[in-house]
A and B are shown apart, each in its own frame.
Chain A
Amino acid sequence: MSVEQGVMGKPPSARKRLRLKTVFPYLLIFPAIFMVIWILGISVIESFILSLQRFPFFITGVPEFVGVQNYLDLFRSMVFQSSLRVSLIFVAGSIALGMLISLGFALALYKLVKSRRYFSALALLPYLISGVAIGTMWRFLFSGDVGLINMILRSIGQSGVAWFSNPTWALLILILANAWGRSPVSTMVMLSGLQSIDPEIYDAAKIDGCTPWKTLWHVTLPQIKPQFGFSLIWLNFVAFSMFDIVLAMTRGGPGRSTEVLAVRMYYLAFEHFDVPGGAAILIMLLLANIIVSAVVLKYFKV
């Protein structure tokens, strides 16, 4: 009751007190809800409206309502089709590699006793590095003249590879760089799942004569199903939203071989002044994230 008194200054009447008690939680959450709805919510609604319009130039002049025309135009354009293909390969590759390394690392970290804390802290470190720095570091690692990888190849008598001139290599390195910087979160999440498993269940599995692989498949994985699902959602989200690592590493090149959807959206809106087209891509990215998250939530009961 002291809370209400603090707000009102003097003891309020019973009715006022009741009213304040009802309103109070809303006052507490108001700033959070306001920021989210005012900035994020309205932006999404505005994007949706933008994506259904066409302007005489950039976003000036009287807009014309064109329905889903912008979406149809995108799907007909070769450039968008290529971006979509690149994004889908990138997302699939990033999820596969991300899940593999986070599960592997989490299982190994879980087996450690005293040193788990230190190695976990190390494993999380790359997540704190900016996308621009990640892109720059990995561009340097694979750089043609001075990159470590080519240096090693040359030291053992091989010739260096022009990694970023080859579309397949460039996309592969992008997947590696993304996994390096973003999968530490899923590693931590899986580790938290493993730590929450009751150890007795392993003793039971041992008594039943389960091999390590069988234990992993039939005991461990089902137990961390929610964390597994969360990791899928996370990796899918970061891969679909991929933007800064690409700009710092390849700028979408060579050609358009690493131009993922978010990068295409940026070029479309800010270089070709097709803001409605960019907004349409945002809506599609959002839908992709919502659909994948909903499916994962349903099957993994996160």
Chain B
Amino acid sequence: MSTHTTRPMSQALVAVKKHLVWVVIAILVIWTVLPFIWTVSSSFKSTMEIYRVPPTLIPRDFSLHGYQGAVGFEGFWRYWFNTIFIAGSTTILVLFIGVLGAYGFARHAFWLRGPLLLCILVPRILPRAGLIVPLYVRFAEMGLINTYAALIIAYVASGVPLATWIITGAFGAVPKDLEDAAKMDGASMWKHLWHVYIPIALPGVITAATLTAVDAWNEFPFVLAFTTGPQVRTLPYVLYMLRATEGIEDWPLVNAFVVLTIIPIIIAYLRLEKHVVKGMTAGALK
């Protein structure tokens, strides 16, 4: 394998070291993929096959029973629409607010800049679930319980800090000369943001957008606390309720539901993965 001409001892060490990396990578792959595979595989099984020992990885009697149950679930499409609508609106608003804020923080010096930036950073250590108590009280006063507005306001507020932070970092790395060049062209601020900043800072902006969208898509405590009916509830809530309503669990149905709630995220991630990993390993989170 190795063509090293050094002593056999160090050659063995090199081999071990080389393999150690792949052993850890193998663990990483199994650890990451196993829960997905088991869920996806079981979502295509019949209720009988779920109980078969030894278990089958590829279903022998392939069944769409779980998916039929999930799609036929009362209000399924409504929940889908709600999730897409809320996650979409949240992402657009957060990006708008975050880009403006980041432009302010990254490119302007002003009084109280430091403390205000800290104001944006610190809320990241607020436990989201903890906010349900005070926010419930306030939304009830405003008559917003069980409305899209309550969820979107709560998601935007909890999404803005991270997004602003990431985009500020990304904008900070845009070379200053480019800005001056654009200024001499007499470009307006919007053009300037759109044509200079956003393209250069794209991995950061996409990372912020992805994390915001994913957070809103997946959010659970706020939906649990601020909704009282199916009109505005989202997919994670239904997944949670599936369990409560079933006596003996219909696992193919539950697994099909899991697959259907995570598949849009995985598809989006496959398209954006390059930017997101780059954004996250470029120190965007620090």
Contacts and interface: CB of A to CB of B under 8 A. Distances in A.
Interface of A: 1-3, 6, 22, 24-29, 31-33, 35-44, 46-47, 50, 59, 101, 104-105, 107-109, 111-112, 117, 119-126, 128-133, 136-138, 140-141, 143, 145-146, 148, 151-152, 154-155, 180, 185, 188-189, 191-192, 195-196, 212, 226-227, 230, 233, 237, 240-241, 243-244, 247-248, 262, 265-266, 269-270, 275, 278-279, 281-282, 285-286, 289-290, 293, 302
Given A47-B134, A233-B125, 12 more contacts: A35-B160, A36-B119, A38-B157, A39-B153, A47-B130, A104-B24, A132-B239, A155-B54, A237-B125, A266-B129, A266-B132, A269-B132
B38 A148 contact: yes
Interface stretch (B1-9, B67-75, B183-191, B197-205): B183-191
4 A-B pairs with the lowest CB-CB distances in the bound complex, closest first: A28-B104, A130-B218, A39-B157, A32-B101
Contacts of A104: 24, 27
Nearest to A47: B134
Residue of A146, A152, A227, A302 ringed by the most chain B CB atoms within 10 A: A146
A211 to B, nearest CB: 9
Contact of A289 (B31, B125, B153): B125
A25 B112 CA distance: 11
A243 B127 CA distance: 9
Contacts of A151: 53-55
A16 B183 CA distance: 20
B157 A247 contact: no
B123 A36 contact: yes
A241 B188 contact: no
Nearest to A148: B38
A180 B125 contact: no
A289 B25 contact: no
A60 B214 CA distance: 36
A28 B273 CA distance: 30
Nearest to A43: B134
Interface of B: 17, 20-21, 24-25, 27-29, 31-36, 38-39, 42, 50-51, 53-55, 96-98, 100-101, 103-105, 108-110, 113, 116, 119-120, 123-138, 153-154, 156-158, 160-161, 164, 183, 186-189, 214, 217-221, 224-225, 236-237, 239-240, 243, 249, 251, 254-255, 258, 261-262, 265-266, 269, 273-274, 276-277, 280-283, 285-286
A133 B236 CA distance: 7
A154 B53 contact: yes
Contact of A128 (B219, B269, B281): B269
A145 B49 CA distance: 12
A186 B132 CA distance: 26
Given A2-B188, A40-B158, A241-B129, A133 B277 contact: no
Contacts of B104: 25-29
Contacts of A152: 54-55
Contacts of A132: 218, 220, 236-237, 239-240
Contacts of B273: 121, 124
A124 B280 contact: yes
B167 to A, nearest CB: 10
Given A24-B108, A32-B164, A44 B218 contact: no
A4 B133 CA distance: 43
A52 to B, nearest CB: 13
A141 B285 contact: no
A286 B133 CA distance: 14
A216 B135 CA distance: 46
B134 A140 contact: no
Contacts of A25: 104, 108-110, 113
5 contacts: A146-B251, A196-B283, A247-B240, A282-B127, A282-B131
A105 B28 contact: yes
Contacts of A42: 134, 138
B101 A28 contact: yes
Nearest to A193: B283
B154 A39 contact: yes
Contacts of A237: 124-125, 127
A36 to B, nearest CB: 6
Given A28-B103, A112-B21, A241-B129, A40 B280 contact: no
Contacts of B25: 108-109, 112, 119
A6 B193 CA distance: 14
A130 B262 contact: yes
B137 A137 contact: no
Contacts of A136: 239, 243, 254, 258
Residue of A28, A131, A248 ringed by the most chain B CB atoms within 10 A: A28
Contacts of A24: 108
Contacts of A125: 32, 266, 269
Contacts of B110: 22, 25-26
B26 to A, nearest CB: 9
A50 B134 contact: yes
B137 A59 contact: yes
A6 B188 contact: yes
A266 B137 contact: no
B130 A265 contact: yes
Given A28-B101, A38-B157, A282-B130, A243 B281 contact: no
B99 to A, nearest CB: 9
